[in-house]
Structures are given as C-alpha cells and as structure tokens.
C-alpha cells in the first residue's frame, strides 16, 4: 500500500519561487526542481533548499513592493 503525500504551503511557495526565478532569468525550471530536497513534516512535504530570488537594480519597482495578503 502506498502512502499519499502532499506539498506543504512552504513547498508550494518554493515551487512558485522557482517559477518566478526561471521567468526572471529566462532559464529552465527543471534543474531547480530536480535539486529540491524534501522532508516529510506534519504539514506535508517541505523543501529544505528553496531557491533564492535576488532582486537587482533592473527589477521593475512593481516586483519589489510587498504583497498584502
């Protein structure tokens, strides 16, 4: 019998950050996702090494503003 798992909110955020980084850098997202290291927690699978998205001087101001939840 296989055990079902799901992504924790943190892991979903890591996938979204990988997508944003890929779009900003115009690079392939696959290598980033393949390097993810997961750990099972009470919330679900979490990513131990989420990608970092660095903003630079060329980043449009709209991307630098915090998003209100």
Please report, for the chain, the start and end positions of each structural domain, with discontinuous segments joined by +.
1-50
Q: State pLDDT tens for residues 5-55.
A: 999 999 999 999 999 989 988 999 999 999 999 999 999 999 999 998 776
Q: Model-level pTM? A: 0.72
8 A C-beta contact, residue 15 and residue 7:
yes
Q: Is the pLDDT of residue 69 over 70?
A: no
**Dihedral angle at the C-alpha atoms of 55, 56, 60, 66, nearest 10 degrees?**
30
Give pLDDT, residue 65.
55
């Amino acid at each position: 019998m296989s055990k079902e798992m799901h992504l924790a909110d943190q892991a979903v955020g890591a996938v979204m950050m990988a997508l944003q980084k890929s779009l900003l850098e115009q690079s392939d997202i696959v290598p980033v996702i393949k390097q993810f290291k997961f750990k099972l927690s009470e919330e679900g699978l979490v990513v131990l090494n989420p990608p970092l998205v660095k903003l630079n001087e060329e980043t449009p101001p709209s991307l630098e503003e915090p998003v209100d939840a």
